[in-house]
Amino acid sequence: MSGYLQNGRWHEGWYDTAATAGEFVRPQAVFRSMVTADGSSDYLAEPGRYRLYVSLACPWAHRTLVVRALKGLEASIPVSIVEPVMAGQGWAFSPALPDHANGFAHLHQLYTAVRADYSGRVTVPVLWDTATRTIVSNESADIVRMLNSAFNAYGVAALDLYPQALRAKIDRINAFVYENINNGVYRCGFATSQPSYERAFRRLFHALDWVEARLAGQPYLVSNIPTEADWRLFTTLVRFDAVYYGHFKCNRNRMVDFPYLSRYLRALYQTPGIAATVNMEHIKHHYYMSHPHINPTRIVPAGPKLDFTLPAFKQG
Ligand SMILES: N[C@@H](CCC(=O)N[C@@H](CS)C(=O)NCC(=O)O)C(=O)O
């Protein structure tokens, strides 16, 4: 279980789905500033100035870790990792997983340090500015864009995951994948009425069938090399068989039952730097232990046996 801040005070509680007929509706992120390379915003890209707060369990935070790794920004943008299980006070730090910048015990303290009367959910990822001691952004879609383009002087400038010529296509695929798959698994798992669960389930597998058919004809979603659209899908797919299939009841098929999707998932996983961003311990412990309304015993399943290191493309 977790909670939220109301006028800067922490309250325990889960999402209220009563007002939306049992449907889970994800709130908008609140901090939406951008870091730029040319100083055209308040936040100039500088090595060591910004810190990412992530959960290794969270698919939205995972996107930012993937792009940080692909762009070679590990030394320029340090990371603080929260404890995997979200309990009474929400995301927490510990002696083993400390808040390096502020020494806080809980992530909600970071939010109220910036805005004493903050109201809303306290989410990861967070891009923190150590110079002005503020939150630049808590929206992973924006953080991914900043890491891709603002820090080229300090990372792999040649890699562009959002090239000008492909932007319209990437945006279209992102919208479809977000609605039906990235957030679709949550709409299944967090639904509190049978019809809203079944609607989300149908839309999810319709979308996965569409992706499977597309991948039969081309290796990646938009181009013949991975783009931002593929990495945004990856973080959901890599959690699918271990968590969403069982815990979120997305159980028409597993990833391993889709030949093209599973080949694609392995190809992305085997990209240099990516395997190190995937932590199945944190992923499984987070989901199965943080939602007692879904899994009251909080027992973490021992399976399934997964191997993303099998050859991505069959020989011959
Ligand atoms: N729009 C946000 C969503 C992030 C998000 O919902 N993160 C989840 C973890 S997977 C979280 O921190 N939830 C805490 C809560 O809702 O209380 C983003 O993509 O950055």
| Residue 101 burial (C-beta neighbours within 10 Å; 0-12, 13-18, 19+) | middle
Instruction: Tell me: pLDDT of 62 over 90.
Output: yes
Tell me which of 21-35, 166-180, 225-239, 253-267 is least confident. 21-35
**Average per-residue pLDDT for the chain:** 95
Domain 3-149 class? alpha beta
Q: How much distance in Å is there from the Cα of 267 to the middle of ligand 1?
A: 27
Of 6-15, 55-64, 255-264, 300-309, minimum mean pLDDT range: 6-15
> Is there a contact between 125 and 54 (Cβ–Cβ < 8 Å)?
yes
- Grade residue 316 by pLDDT with cuts at 50, 70 and 90: very low
Look at 168-182, 198-212, 302-316 and tell me which has the smallest mean pLDDT.
302-316
The pLDDT of residue 125 is above 70:
yes
- From 50, 186, 244, 288, active-site residue: 186
85, 124, 248, best to mutate for ligand 1 pocket (most atoms within 8 Å of CB): 124
Task: Show Cβ contacts of residue 245 under 8 Å, excluding neighbours closer than 6 positions.
Answer: 251, 254
* Residues 126-184 pLDDT 10s: 999 999 999 999 999 999 999 999 999 999 999 999 999 999 999 999 999 999 999 99
- Residue 205's nearest CA partner among 230, 174, 240 is 240
Q: Among the atoms of ligand 1, which is closest to the Cα of residue 59?
A: 10
Specify whether the CB–CB gap between 35 and 51 falls below 8 A: no
The residues pairing with 44 across neighbouring beta strands, listed in sequence order, are: 36
Given the CA of residue 124, which atom of ligand 1 is nearest to it?
12
Nearest residue (CA) to ligand 1, atom 5: 123
For the Cβ of 60 lying below 6 angstroms from any atom of ligand 1, the answer is yes
Beta bridge partners of 50: 129
pLDDT of residue 1: 65
> If residue 213 lies in a helix (H) or strand (E), which one and from where to where?
helix 194-217
- 279-295 per-position pLDDT tens digit: 999 999 999 999 999 99
According to the per-residue pLDDT averaged within each range, which of 87-91, 202-206, 306-310 is highest?
A: 202-206
Q: How far apart are CA 32 and CA 138, in angstroms?
A: 7
pLDDT greater than 80 at residue 15: no
58 labelled catalytic? yes
Predicted confidence at residue 313, as pLDDT, reads 61
If you measure from the C-alpha of residue 125 to the centroid of ligand 1, how many angstroms do you get, rounded to a whole number?
A: 7
**Of 4, 43, 53, 58, catalytic:** 58
7 near 173, Cβ under 8 Å? no
Residue 124 CB less than 6 A away from ligand 1: yes
What are the residue ranges spanned by the domains of the chain? 3-149, 164-271
Q: Are 182 and 9 in contact (CB under 8 A)?
A: no
Structural class in CATH, domain 164-271: mainly alpha
Topology alike, domains 3-149 and 164-271: no
